[in-house]
Structure 1
Amino acid sequence: MFKINWFGKFNHLKALSLGLILLTLATSVNAQSGWTKAKGEGFYQLSYQSLVSSDYFTLSGEQLETNKFSQQSLVIYSEYGITDRFTIIANWPIQTWNGFESTETVSGLGDLKIELKHAILKKYLPLSISITPEIPIGRANHYAQSKVNDFEQINLPSGDGEFNVWGTLATSFALPNAPFYGSIFGTYNYRTQYNDIQFSDQIGFGAEIGYQIAGKVWVNTKLNALKSVDEVTTVSDFVRGDGTAYTSYSFGASTPVYKGINVSLSYRNFTDWIFARENIYSSGVISVGLFYQVKPLSK
């Protein structure tokens, strides 16, 4: 493992990239299920995510040690049942903070995902398909000043500047006599370009299982994997996450705390189990959130 100081003797890397990927937001694959909300049913969550890492994996999978990088994000996530078969979902990092230990911290809005999910099958084997445009409203270029040299800066954007569309197929099951469920999904990310740089599409898949303890606490574990469709061999679009690959696992729990308000906690990390880590900062991601569910009115 090599040691790199982004503002030291490896300035040629900084000159090529001037940035880093948006790990927890721009390239992460969220868990998906085959269920849609009932008409009028809602789910609303506010969460805080944090990653701190000095371990960067290059496009060739080589592990490098850099100055410590940190990213924190405040994310709004919501689902609403338009009909029993159509659910609209919003996922928006309303603030993201990025910085190295050798730079100032910069912040800004993230890109907005709007997902429309349709239940193909609903009763016996829940099966859904969804289309999710990702709208580049985040700050695509945001330079953080070096604390070491006043004349140096690095690009730490809160958005990737690119319009892309995710397509996802998911199925789920729940046991009739036990509080246990499972889901699997596959997803394809159609990517476009930013500043005349054409990005590679991405393919991903994942699985989740969950169980309720003592009628109160839901626990779950998830496995996700993501990889670029094309081989990416240059770092010309490193700042946009092109060529990123990983396998991630997570553990989570949630419990009600007050009048329909629930608290959730999760831990996520990255491995090379399915897809080896490439173009990614790898470390544990801690997430804590509050969510509220609205049940439809009885007919």
Structure 2
Amino acid sequence: MQFHNIQSLILKVFGLGYMCFFTFEAAAQSGWTKEKTEGFYQLSFQSMKSDDYYSLTGDLLETNQFSQQSLVFYGEYGVTDKFTIIANWPLQIWNGFETTETVSGLGDLRLEFKHSLLKKYLPLSISIAPEFPIGRANNFAQSTVNDFEQINLPSGDGEFNVWTTLASSFALPDIPLYGNLFSSYNFRTQYEGISFSDQFAIGAEIGYHIADLVWVNARLNALNSVNEVEVATDFVRGDGSEYTAYSFGASVPVYKNIHVTVNYRNFNDWIFKRKNIYSSGVIGFGVYYEYKPKKP
């Protein structure tokens, strides 16, 4: 299929929802907040390639292979024992099809303000996370087949939106095992006069410390649209995107409070069926540093 036919098909039928692949999964939601001046800072790289696109109706379509890589900064800082500020910022996102050049740009910045409702026995928190559209909302990739054709592959969705999350956690006293549960609501606005459907998400995580050395975890997340989106209103803005995702990860200390991480994520139809996304495995690697103040 020639590039202009693929481009026309995408523009008329698709509304690719890949924008949420990396930023929403950068770190798990939990009921815990950081202690005062305590910090967690992570830099991670993630990559995916897929030619399996699930349309707005959930039909699987084989397209030109799409690829995305992302370099993401994630940080938490304890302002007080009950109030934590979180930053989730893709520093660079690379997008491209196999018949286009690869284009890149800064992603949208999410700042999360997290407050502890219960801290001691059953940690419970609520957070508000505005996402600022500072990424490239228009970023055109030139066709490598026809010089006069191009396609928009933005690194930001161009709209201001706000995530609200309620999360709870537990940790067993005598076993190095923890768990998290959360639910989130994403209030979306519009881009260039086009309004987007709100979204809600649910998720769970369980983790275990092996031999007092390696942390391993498993997660299950699901995202759904509040309103039924029958026609793609815009390109690559995630409107109408739905999925269930699972992931497995591990982290190992390498020097003092510095750890390296590896993570694998993929998608299925267990809770919400895949719609408006490219579906394939996402491989991630990272390094993080934890700062814990010395106790008097």
Normalising by structure 1, we get a TM-score of: 0.95
**Structure 1 residue aligned with 2:246:** 249
Q: Which amino acid is the alignment partner of residue 120 of structure 2?
A: K
Residue in structure 2 matching 1:128, options 115, 120, 125? 125
Mapped contact 1:185–1:206 kept (Cα < 8 A) = yes
**Structure 1 residue aligned with 2:101:** 104
Return the alpha-carbon distance in structure 1 between the equivalents of residues 214 and 248 of structure 2: 13
2:60 is the alignment partner of 1:63: yes
Mapped contact 1:115–1:131 kept (Cα < 8 A) = yes
Q: Which amino acid is the alignment partner of residue 8 of structure 2?
A: H
The total of aligned residue pairs comes to 295
2:200 is the alignment partner of 1:203: yes
1:265-299 CA distances to partner (integer Å, 9 max, x unpaired)? Answer: 00000000000000000000001000000002313
Return the alpha-carbon distance in structure 2 between the equivalents of residues 268 and 191 of structure 1: 25
Q: Measure how far apart 1:248 and its partner are.
A: 0.1
Return the alpha-carbon distance in structure 1 between the equivalents of residues 23 and 184 of structure 2: 15
SS in 2 for 1:82: strand
1:210-238 CA distances to partner (integer Å, 9 max, x unpaired)? Answer: 00000000000000000110000001223
2:82 is the alignment partner of 1:85: yes
Q: Which amino acid is the alignment partner of residue 65 of structure 1?
A: E
Considering only aligned residues, what root-mean-square deviation do their CA atoms show, in Å?
A: 1.5
Residue in structure 1 matching 2:32, options 31, 35, 38? 35
Return the alpha-carbon distance in structure 1 between the equivalents of residues 26 and 241 of structure 2: 12
1:173-226 CA distances to partner (integer Å, 9 max, x unpaired)? Answer: 000001000010000000000010010000100000000000000000000000
Return the alpha-carbon distance in structure 2 between the equivalents of residues 74 and 180 of structure 1: 30
Identity of aligned residues (%): 66
Pairing of 1:270-285 with structure 2 (within 5 A): 270-285=267-282
**Structure 1 residue aligned with 2:173:** 176
Query: Structure 1: which 5+ residue stretches go unaligned?
Result: none
Return the alpha-carbon distance in structure 1 between the equivalents of residues 260 and 95 of structure 2: 25
Q: Classify 1:98/1:147 alpha carbon distance in 2 versus 1 (closer, same or farther; 3 Å).
A: same
Return the alpha-carbon distance in structure 2 between the equivalents of residues 215 and 11 of structure 1: 52
**Structure 1 residue aligned with 2:3:** 7
1:135-191 CA distances to partner (integer Å, 9 max, x unpaired)? Answer: 000000000000111111111000000000000000000000010000100000000
Pairing of 1:204-223 with structure 2 (within 5 A): 204-223=201-220
**Structure 2 residue aligned with 1:287:** 284
Return the alpha-carbon distance in structure 2 between the equivalents of residues 30 and 197 of structure 1: 30
Q: Measure how far apart 1:8 and its partner are.
A: 5.0
Query: Structure 2: which 5+ residue stretches go unaligned?
Result: none
Return the alpha-carbon distance in structure 2 between the equivalents of residues 16 and 27 of structure 1: 27
Mapped contact 2:248–2:264 kept (Cα < 8 A) = yes
Mapped contact 2:31–2:168 kept (Cα < 8 A) = yes
2:276 is the alignment partner of 1:240: no
